[in-house]
């Protein structure tokens, strides 16, 4: 398999439920998120140009991030789930896997040292 990745960024706030009241993530707080999309294809599935997918075709994902998530409160945006990095990665995969059939994983980072990955 061949894999490509592209990083995207947005800033947002959230508060996580089901945590002790004194847990730092139970309080309203924000992050500068990084989202990494991974797309995969077998060598015989590459485009005639030799791409898994043209990176320029991921511009719609960036527009969606900017319109739907950037500078928003994620508890109000992400339906029916606690907006942890894990849930965000899974939700983004669900939202985009039909539009990007090569999508093989979504990674979400809340800090430079932490990542959550959804890989079906």
Q: How far apart are CA 92 and CA 73, in angstroms?
A: 16
Could you say which of 23, 29, 68, 71 is catalytic?
71
Residue 25: active-site member: yes
Q: What's the N-to-C CA distance of the chain in angstroms?
A: 16
Indicate which residue of 25, 31, 73, 102 is catalytic.
25
Cα–Cα distance measured from residue 50 to residue 44, given in angstroms and rounded to the nearest whole number:
10
Per residue in 32-85, pLDDT (tens digit) is 999 999 999 999 999 999 999 999 999 999 999 999 999 999 999 998 899 999
Q: Any catalytic annotation for residue 86?
A: no
Q: 114 vs 14, 43, 52, 55, 105, CA distance in Å?
A: 16, 31, 27, 25, 16
31 is catalytic: no
Question: Domains of the chain by range and CATH?
Answer: 2-118 (3.30.479.10)
User: Model's pTM, two decimal places?
Assistant: 0.94
């Amino acid at each position: 398999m061949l894999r490509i990745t592209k990083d995207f960024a947005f800033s947002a706030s959230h508060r996580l439920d089901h945590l002790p009241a004194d847990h730092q993530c139970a309080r309203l707080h924000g992050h500068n998120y990084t989202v990494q999309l991974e797309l995969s294809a077998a060598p015989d599935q590459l485009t005639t140009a030799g791409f898994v997918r043209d990176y320029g075709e991921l511009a719609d994902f960036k527009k969606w991030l900017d319109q739907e998530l950037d500078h928003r409160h994620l508890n109000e945006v992400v339906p029916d789930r606690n907006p942890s990095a894990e849930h965000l990665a899974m939700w983004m995969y669900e939202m985009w896997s039909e539009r990007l059939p090569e999508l093989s994983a979504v990674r979400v980072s809340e800090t430079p040292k932490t990542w959550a990955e959804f890989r079906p």
